[in-house]
Amino acid sequence: MTSVSTLTQHEVFSKINIPQSSNTAIVRAIDTTTRIRMPVGTMFEPNIKGHTRLTSPSYSFLIENERSGRKVLFDLGTQKKWREQAPSVVSMIDECGWDVTVEKDVADILQEHGLPLASINSIIWSHPHWDHLGDPSTFPTSTELVVGPGFLEDCFPDGLENPEPDCGIKKEYYQNRRVREITAEQFTIDMEFPAFDFFGDGSFYLINSPGHAIGHISALARTTTNPDTFIFMGADIASHPGEFRPSEHAPLPALISPNPLHPSSPTPCPGHVFQQIHPERRRDVPFYRIGTWPDGECCAEDLLAALESHRKLRLVDAQSERIFVVLAHDENVEDVIDLFPKAANGWKEKGWGEKARWMFLGDFREAVSEDLGLD
């Protein structure tokens, strides 16, 4: 018999000590139309039968402070003309054999719905990877760029005039616009993760979540008060929900509903069928761990930091009654959440958290079928 929790739910709750506030932000999830088709095995491992390829979206989020009306974008997906990115990026995509399609820039999507681009005060880059940078040059130069701790030193060691070639950032992305780094010292709020109060009113926090890349940040928006609910925008803190689910704080339930193998079925799925195909046969340990590239190099920039960020994420994710975790590339939430221009603030009353939480287990349909002798 394995232990499923080293902390009580009260202890987990107290560790994620989010300051009180009466202010909220309006959150809108944007499908950037980016689709990246790649083999599983590089970003996370081990292999689970049948789950061999990803078709990854890349979500952007429009966050509006209700008190001031200030608007920011958290990530931009991939730019439409992706072959016009930095040559190092295009070469890497071609060498990996990834299939990339992008129908629209985020700027196009906003304008199609009548939102003036000049109303966007800031573009926040979660980290300097091509599938998050988009094309900021499609926005007015009055829109600043905001980046995380260490970003500038990593990508611009010799100053903004000389970007590091391998960083994949083109000069037109940032020329004639303010680039503001939120330094590690500014993440002064302790909610297990270090946090920075972006609007200064408790409605929207940037989260220092290093590991995947230097300067990697996530975000947390307060979507309602009384009771408080939040959306945690994870960016690439993990590449798949199976990297932090299940966990010691949120083990596989005995019955899973909606049924991830048959989402339209009213009959719950027994949790034990997934425990049987779990690499460790556990119900309190994630299915996946951080992966490696074909040359054996870890795909995380800093493995120890990434593992620590995953530990903290498991605590956040255990607070599913008040925090809805959305990764940048989670294809399993696509059919659950409302997308821009609709707001995501009513996620709890709409049951999105419950519907999306275990949907990723459907990726293991082939392995479960074989284990049950149904193939």
pLDDT tens, residue by residue, 319-328: 999 999 999 9
C-alpha to C-alpha distance for 204 and 369, rounded to whole angstroms: 43
Dihedral of alpha carbons 246, 29, 127, 44, sign: positive
Average pLDDT over residues 113-121: 98
Counting the structural domains of the chain, the total is 1
Look at residue 5 and tell me whether its pLDDT is greater than 60. no
SS3 34: coil
Look at residue 223 and tell me whether its pLDDT is greater than 70. yes
Which of 107-111, 146-150, 281-285, 298-302 shows the lowest per-residue confidence on average (mean pLDDT)?
A: 298-302
Q: What CATH number should be reported for the domain holding residue 253?
A: 3.60.15.10
Here the tokens at position 255 are 């019955």
Contact 246, 318 (CB under 8 A): no
362 in a structural domain = yes
224 in a structural domain = yes
Beta bridge partners, 99, equal 37
Mean residue pLDDT across the chain: 93
H-run or E-run covering 269: strand 269-270
Q: What does the pLDDT read at residue 6?
A: 56
Q: Strands 204-208, 217-224: parallel, antiparallel or unpaired by DSSP? A: antiparallel
Q: pLDDT-based confidence at 1, cuts 50/70/90?
A: very low
Residue-wise pLDDT for 10-69, tens only, equals: 666 677 899 999 999 999 999 999 999 998 877 899 999 999 999 999 999 999 999 999
209 in a structural domain = yes
What DSSP designation does 31 have?
E
Contact 147, 169 (CB under 8 A): no
Residue-wise pLDDT for 305-314, tens only, equals: 999 999 999 9
Phi, psi for 219 (deg, rounded to 5): -145, 155
291 in a structural domain = yes
Phi, psi for 73 (deg, rounded to 5): -110, 135
Look at residue 159 and tell me whether its pLDDT is greater than 80. yes
Contact 124, 328 (CB under 8 A): no
Q: pLDDT-based confidence at 286, cuts 50/70/90?
A: very high
327 in a structural domain = yes
324 in a structural domain = yes
Provide the whole-model pTM.
0.95
Range of the domain at 86: 18-371
Q: What does the pLDDT read at residue 3?
A: 42
- The letter for the amino acid at 35 is R
Helix residue spans in the chain (DSSP H): 9-15, 87-96, 106-112, 130-133, 151-155, 171-174, 272-277, 303-317, 352-357, 365-371
Look at residue 165 and tell me whether its pLDDT is greater than 90. no
Look at residue 4 and tell me whether its pLDDT is greater than 60. no
Q: pLDDT-based confidence at 295, cuts 50/70/90?
A: confident
C-alpha to C-alpha distance for 276 and 278, rounded to whole angstroms: 6
Q: What does the pLDDT read at residue 375?
A: 55
CA distances for 157 relative to 89, 135, 160, 288, 342, angstroms: 19, 22, 8, 34, 40
305 in a structural domain = yes
7 in a structural domain = no
